């Protein structure tokens, strides 16, 4: 099937943090489904260009936009860049985020503020400014995490708190934007094989096996596993699902 026959043909999507890992998987999948995809990145221009090239190589349409998140004025700069390439958006995926692996006793105030600025504050204001550009019957998908619902990795306490905030944002925003036919959902990955996780996930066979054992399905997740769930919610098939936290951990919380 050609990309022109995709179920998102005629739609425009913005994926924050879309140049690598889960974000890239989402961007490429939405592109294959026919959407024109804005691939947002903070600093790695080469990775963003690679993602755009991959989407275009598969017959899709994409463009890259740069904006650092977690700093004053970030949302306004992001949308100013977007507006240079497109008018209006149908699908917003708030995927960009950073982690914090310091335990409760050692995380400092600066790091705490930074992880909240990127993971919770930025999606709020990106969405707030994006709402006026978002067409009726649009889609907002926030990338949460399994750690917001279970203390499986307690050293990620600050990170988990940011994702809990994102979950609350998701539920409440679904009621705010529901009258416009806009759905708002959160998708929660578990452990996914990305370059961000490679430093510990691929250090040994034992590390990989331990991560795989957390899933009821006995394997480590892939960006495509998450992207397929997002693609469903972004499509017409997901029109009656809103305000939900979708467990995409492969049964790690079962």
Active site residues: 144-145, 159, 163
Report d(CA 70, CA 73) in Å as an integer.
Answer: 9
Domains of the chain from N-terminus onward: 3-247 (3.40.50.720)
pLDDT at 1: 43
Do residues 119 and 98 touch, judged by C-beta distance below 8 A?
yes
pLDDT digits (tens, 9 = 90+) for 173-228: 999 999 999 999 999 999 998 887 877 788 889 889 998 999 999 999 999 999 99
- Least Cα distance to 38 among 1, 99, 93, 120 occurs for 93
3 state DSSP class of 127: helix
Report d(CA 162, CA 116) in Å as an integer.
Answer: 6
Percent with pLDDT over 70 in the chain: 98
Report d(CA 232, CA 209) in Å as an integer.
Answer: 29
- N-to-C CA span, the chain: 36
Do residues 126 and 70 touch, judged by C-beta distance below 8 A?
no
pLDDT band at 2 (very low <50, low <70, confident <90, very high): very low
pLDDT at 243: 98
Predicted model pTM: 0.95
3 state DSSP class of 79: helix
Strand ranges across the sheet with 89-94: 61-66, 36-41, 12-15, 89-94, 134-143, 183-189, 245-248
Q: Is pLDDT of 8 > 80?
A: yes
Mean pLDDT of the region 245-253: 96
Report d(CA 209, CA 253) in Å as an integer.
Answer: 17
């Amino acid at each position: 099937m050609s990309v022109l026959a995709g179920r998102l043909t005629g739609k425009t999507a913005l994926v924050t943090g879309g140049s690598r890992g889960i974000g890239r998987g989402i961007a490429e999948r939405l592109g294959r489904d026919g959407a024109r995809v804005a691939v947002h990145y903070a600093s790695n221009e080469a990775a963003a260009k690679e993602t755009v090239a991959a989407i275009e190589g598969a017959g899709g349409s994409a463009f890259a936009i740069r904006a650092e998140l977690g700093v004053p004025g970030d949302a306004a700069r992001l949308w100013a860049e977007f507006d240079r390439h497109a008018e209006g958006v149908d699908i917003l995926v708030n995927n960009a985020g950073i982690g914090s692996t310091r335990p409760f006793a050692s995380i400092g105030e600066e790091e705490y503020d930074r992880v909240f600025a990127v993971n919770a504050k930025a999606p709020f204001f990106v969405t707030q400014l994006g709402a006026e550009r978002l067409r009726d019957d649009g889609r907002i998908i926030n990338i949460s995490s399994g750690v917001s619902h279970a203390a499986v990795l307690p050293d990620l306490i600050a990170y988990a708190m940011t994702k809990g905030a994102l979950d609350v944002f998701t539920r409440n925003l679904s009621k705010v934007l529901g009258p416009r036919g806009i759905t708002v959902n959160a998708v929660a990955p578990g452990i996914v094989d990305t370059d961000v996780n490679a430093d510990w996930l691929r250090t040994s066979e034992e590390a990989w096996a331990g991560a795989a054992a957390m899933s009821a399905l006995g394997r480590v997740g892939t960006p495509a596993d998450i992207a397929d769930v997002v693609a469903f919610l972004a499509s017409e098939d997901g029109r009656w699902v809103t305000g939900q936290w979708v467990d995409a951990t492969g049964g790690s919380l079962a």
